[in-house]
Amino acid sequence: MDSNGQPLNRTCQKVLTFALFQLGLSAVLFTYIRISGKPDPGSPVSVMLYQPKQLEMSLPVDKRSSNLTILLWTWPFGTPFAIERCSQALGIPNCDITANRSWYQKADAVIVHHQDVCGSPERLPQEPRPPFQRWIWFNMESPSATPNLSFMDKRFNLTMTYRRDSDIFSPYGMMEVLPHPQNITIPPKSKLVAWVVSNWDSGSQRVKYYEELRKYLQVDVYGKYHLPLLDNKLLSTLSQYKFYLSFENAIHKDYITEKVWRNAFNSWAVPVVLGPPRKNYENYMPPDSFIHVNDFPSAQELAKFLLELDRNTTRYQSYFHWRSWLKLIGQFTWPQHFCKACWELQKKPLRYQTLPALSKWFK
């Protein structure tokens, strides 16, 4: 950074880094486990996640010493926030995040949030792109809520979404293996089932399932047209319940949102999930940490099972055993998402790629 707090010119460093990378490429290939395996213990944001399943082959990590500058083309949903230094947000050095478009020609990467530009291609950057700059398509919504994807074809170099097959994997939440098992105390519960819903669509699968479920047990529904609930009372209210209906508004691969990570897990309620198949959830969390509606032939059978758990304390508490060896990593803030992008760029080799059919990939 210069004396005015602005990023320094890094052309020379980039050339040197690229040359070093070419030498490393010819020397060695090594195996590592990416987001689903053993992390680099020296990495400030690496975590050993729950699911050590898939090995990947990768080129050597590109160790950059110079700063990277990432430009946010828009504030997400038009709402500004305080930009933390990545060294403070996630312990990542050499990363500068800015929303000042005057840095467009010097930024190493531009993050474009789909929901803020999808109305027209003219909302995308119109100036010629510097040859070293990468455009990152950022989207946390499901395909069902992602309009005008064709605008994005042949424009972007990298994807950044909740999907595990994204170039930059940015999930709604995750779990970290604890260095040592810990004792846990389950908060007392006085109520049975809760659901918070803001988008009430009577024709949706989740509302239809709820309508059937409530015939057999009491479900307290909060949100628009239902019981009032202030944001600052969310967790304290939901923590009174044994179960929470983590029903997604659309069913897509890897679309597992704050309905599980914040509303259920953070309030110590057992999530009852409606979304992608059970196996998909098990990529993110232990199989005995949640209840999937697909495990039951009907809503009536699910209701019967929840009532049985309500009466059987030992069996109910088994849904919390994972907490003795896993730590919940809650929802990420916007700065954490963007700093994670910078960290991934630091790791990735300097190579060119483009996404000719992003609209076909994200569906």
> What positions carry a catalytic annotation?
141
The residue among 58 and 211 whose pLDDT is bigger is 211
3-state secondary structure the chain: CCCCCCCCCCHHHHHHHHHHHHHHHHHCCEEECCCCCCCCCCCCCCCCECCCCCCEEECCCCCCCCCEEEEECCCHHHCCCCCCCHHHHCCCCCEEEECCHHHHHHCCEEEEEHHHHCCCHHHCCCCCCCCCCEEEEEECCCHHHCCCHHHHCCCCCEEEECCCCCCEECCCCEEEECCCCCCCCCCCCCEEEEEECCCCCCCCHHHHHHHHHCCCCCEEEECCCCECCCHHHHHHHHCCEEEEEEECCCCCCCCCCHHHHCCCHHHCCEEEEECCCHHHHCCCCCCCCCEEHHHCCCHHHHHHHHHHHHHCHHHHHHHHHHHHCEEEECCCCHHHHHHHHHHHHHHCCCCCCCCCCHHHHCC
The confidence score (pLDDT) of residue 348 equals 75
When the pLDDT of each residue in the chain is averaged and rounded to a whole number, the result is 84
> Does residue 51 surpass a pLDDT of 50?
no
Domains of the chain, start order: 11-170+332-361 (no CATH), 182-327 (3.40.50.11660)
pLDDT tens sequence across 103-144? 999 999 999 999 999 999 999 999 999 999 999 999 999 999
> Does residue 237 surpass a pLDDT of 50?
yes
